[in-house]
Structure 1
Amino acid sequence: MINNSRRIKSGSNLRIAIKAVQITTGGGLTHLNKIIEWFGRLAPETEFVLLGKKGQEGLYIPAPRNFRYIYFRLPGLNLPAQILWERHFLPGILNRMEIDLLFEPGNRGTLKTPCPKVSLIHNVAPFVSQNQLAETLYKKLRLVLLRQATIESMKASQGIIFISKSSRDMLSEHIDLANIKNRIIYHGKLDSDHSVERPQTQLDLPERYILSVSHIYRYKKIKEMVRAYFRAQSSMSDIPPLLIAGNNYAPRYMNEITDEINKSGHSDSIRFLGNVPDIELGMLYRNCQAFIFPSVLEACPNILIEALSCGCAIACSNKSVMPEIAGDAAIYFNPDDVEDFANKFLSIVQNNKLKKELSRKAIQRAAFFSWEKTAQETLDFFDEVLGKKNCKSPVNKKLHQNAEEIQIVTLT
């Protein structure tokens, strides 16, 4: 048991819990931090309680005035232990805290709650069988467990948020959505203005370069991008070097990529930057000659939206959700067709007119995405699930008549 001396005011306003124990990195963490920020602005009279786990204390932005962060010690760090906590301990915690609505971003969740529940589906990988073929037995079993946990959590929800039409279509093959409220709510874009440039410091960048931003996973198609780049290089000897920013989460796959680079004889043409801080990442986007996004499995890729907002000339995979997000602001390739892929490399780098046109369209397309819009639509959906369809957001809704102070003790 972890004692937490913070006190949550149980008064006249709505109290919403956000379960965040499963949000640790990537687009899910970006989404969570942005909606925390905007919930604080858009619904200042609503109480939000973020439920995290020990070790997550540094992941989230400073709590807005109407937020409380509470961290729990879970029975274990593995997926079964976390599911056990969600299903057997969390409902009692929600009941003691008098929560009016539970928001569960990140697929899985509790099955029985004392209040309405809204789920948000970030990860569609467990529902794509071909994505599992090259994985280890452990990862295959983990994906199977996560798929089943996601389906069960959706069935237990009063509302489901999908972050793209593509992901809703995919999940609708596994669950009947006819009697469950659901809505598509896209992610937002970079906050900073696309025209602002930052000095190229610390990264020691070449004057001209092609950029790809992606963590290393097999479905990101990095090896295929490397092959296509070298094919393009055989036709254009002075093609700019390829820079790849992102963490390595698949060591075996990374070894395959490294072997591909080494056998080319041009290993100095491709550079892995690792994790790049946001302030430098924005500069990378704004100064690249072309941006390449070869992934075949995404729900709503923040990276692609960031590239749009920075006015990148984008060549993008034609798979999954990518055409839905980029629209006509990108040229598309089949990442498994090395000739097609290589030709798209060359199309942007060799055609300044096309590059300028794609950059202009990218900025226009990015205007569709906004974190404020994401947060407001999420709040509106909460209202719909709670039966308050005429409300703009939960602000000023009076659900409890008698104010009181209750002591929150985090039990595990």
Structure 2
Amino acid sequence: MHIGFDISQTGSGKAGCGYFAHAMIGAMLELAPEHRYSLFPSFGNFYFDAKMPMLNPYFGNNVHYGPRHLTRELSAQFWNGSSVENSLETPSIIHSNNFWCPTQLSTGRLIYTFYDMGFAVDPCWTTETNRVGCFEGVFRSSITADWVVAISEASKKHYLKVFPHFPDERIRVIYPCSRFSDSSAEGKRPKALNGVEPGKFWLNVGTVEPRKNQRRLVEAYARYLSLGGEAMPLVLAGGKGWLMEDFQVHLNELGISAQIVMTGYVSDDELIWLYRNCYANLYPSLFEGFGLPVLEGMQFGAATLSSNTTSIPEVAGDAAILLPPEDIEGWTQAMLGLAVDKLERDRLSAAAVEQALRFDWRQSAAALLKLYEEALASPKRRMV
């Protein structure tokens, strides 16, 4: 096969989408080096990183790079052109991973990774520009993609609900997995936690933004403290996202600023240390396509309290305490209970490690390669 694969989001600033693409191409190169791989440092006009692929190169005898563009405008001009397939030497598979979707492919099978449509659920969760760009790409996929890869059963169900015209037999669930290959790694303490005793802090990982629900989390934490909960600090590990400019004001109003540690962006080594040494990992997200911080925390034995919505129960299984994300009192009581029940915390930690073993990149990459073969053996889907 000649596999064309979008790596546009796999640079040094990658987030969930970028980790999915990065791990998938790495595992495919290991499992099936006999195929020809064309990797696309830029893909479409929605996302653009001028430094790719220098920030994160991939190696192999059959690995080649597609055209590199120095500006978003040049990328848009190329990818919207009528002769793009010929310019790419006609890949048999073209796999989109960054929400943008081409519409003019005549021979290659278009595979589209669908993460989630949280941007369409609540306008308060993102900006108008991001919402329009994401929805345009997902909508175009419903019209032109030959196959869709959904990252959870919940995402698959949501996609088919919004786009009932897409054939359900052409959407396949392939799970992401942890970015961390060494489960025995100890990690490195972030400087922001100097003086904080290991095992004596609550943890929340993720961009501080409305969809991740940190506002309700800190309200539950404030009530936990007011009811006499052990005074372990709450560590928020992630940068500030959109629409959260007043978050520090909210902490001040709750009177808990001194008990909150905001690390900002953390390295992978620092994140491993946080997962391994937290008392529990708290993940009250309102909506997820998958929920990597749940899985990655479990990999390092973090006892977990998480939302019971969307995809998160698929990830957590029976190894976490699942709670409605809007139930502030429920989160408060769960934290109070777990803080005094060390045996339950240890049970959750052991169960978390077992649950994390269910997710493996090699299995996911093998499923994707099988999907490519199935796509090539099937006729191209007619554009709606």
Query: TM-score by structure 2 length?
Result: 0.87
Amino acid in structure 2 at the alignment position of 1:271:
V
Q: Which moved more, 1:327-336 or 1:222-231?
A: 327-336
- State how far apart, in whole Å, the 1-side matches of 2:336 and 2:66 are: 51
Question: Would you say 1:328 and 2:318 are equivalent positions?
Answer: yes
Report what 1:147 is aligned to.
135
Q: What displacement does 1:372 show?
A: 1.1
Pairing partner for 2:209 from 217, 220, 227: 217
Would the alpha carbon gap of residues 263 and 34 (structure 1) be closer, same or farther in structure 2, given more than 3 Å must change? same
* Counterpart code for 1:339: E
Check 1:301–1:61 CA distance in 2 against 1; reply closer, same or farther (3 A cut): farther
Give 1:277 deviation, angstroms: 0.7
Which residue is equivalent to 1:368? 358
Aligned partner of residue 88 in structure 1, secondary structure: coil
> Which amino acid in 2 is paired with 1:125?
G
Matched, 1:268 2:268: no
Say whether the 8 Å CA contact 2:38–2:65 is kept in structure 1. Answer: yes
Assess if the C-alpha contact under 8 Å between 1:239 and 1:349 holds in 2: no
Map 1:170-185; keep pairs closer than 5 Å. Answer: 170-175=158-163, 176-178=165-167, 181-185=170-174
Q: 2:45 corresponds to which residue?
A: none
Matched, 1:339 2:329: yes
Trace 1:238-317 onto structure 2 (pairs within 5 A).
Answer: 238-250=230-242, 252-253=243-244, 255-317=245-307
Give me the TM-score of the superposition, normalised by structure 1. Answer: 0.82
Query: 1:19 — aligned with what?
Result: 6
Bigger Rg, structure 1 or 2? 1
Matched, 1:56 2:52: yes
In 2, Cα distance between equivalents of 1:266 and 1:39: 47
Contact 1:151/1:174 (CA < 8 Å) preserved in 2? no
Q: Distance in 2 between matches of 1:337 and 1:375?
A: 37
Fraction of identical pairs, as percent: 23
- CA shift for structure 1 position 49: 1.0
Partners of 2:371 and 2:147 in 1: CA distance: 8
> Is residue 107–residue 123 contact of structure 1 (8 Å, CA) maintained in 2?
no
The answer for the alignment partner of 1:120 in structure 2 is: 113
Structure 2 vs 1, CA of residues 110 and 356 (structure 1 numbering), >3 Å: closer, same or farther?
A: same
Distance (whole Å) between structure 2 residues aligned to residue 316 and residue 82 of structure 1: 40
Maintained 8 Å contact 2:187/2:271:
no
2:96/2:111 contact within 8 Å kept: yes
Unaligned runs of 5+ in 2: 43-49, 379-384
Residues 61 and 217 of structure 1: CA distance in aligned 2, closer, same or farther (over 3 Å): farther
2:185–2:272 CA contact under 8 A, matched in 1: no
Distance change >3 Å, CA 74–CA 156, structure 1 → 2: farther
Q: How far off its partner does 1:154 sit?
A: 2.9
Moved more, 330-339 or 376-385: 330-339
Residues of 1 paired with 2:273 and 2:124: CA distance?
Answer: 37
Q: Tell me the SS of whatever aligns to 1:118.
A: strand
* Counterpart for residue 144 of structure 2: 156
TM superposition shift of 1:83: 6.1
- CA gap of 1:52–1:193, structure 2 versus 1, over 3 A, is closer
Deviation at residue 87 of structure 1 after TM alignment: 3.1
Q: Do structure 1's residue 378 and structure 2's residue 334 form an aligned pair?
A: no
Task: Indicate if the aligned counterparts of 1:164 and 1:321 stay in contact, CA closer than 8 A.
Answer: yes
Does 1:88 pair with 2:81? yes
- Cα drift, residue 115 of structure 1: 1.0
User: Secondary structure at the residue paired with 1:382?
Assistant: helix
1:16, 1:46 within 8 Å by CA — same for their partners in 2? yes
Per the alignment, residue 103 of structure 1 pairs with 95
Choose between structure 1 and 2 for higher RCO, CA contacts under 8 A separated by at least 6 residues.
Answer: 1
The answer to whether the 8 Å contact 2:66/2:88 transfers is: no
User: What displacement does 1:196 show?
Assistant: 4.1
Change (3 A) 1:38 1:141: closer
* Corresponding residue of 1:348: 338
CA 1:377–1:311: 2 relative to 1, 3 Å: same
**How many pairs align?**
364
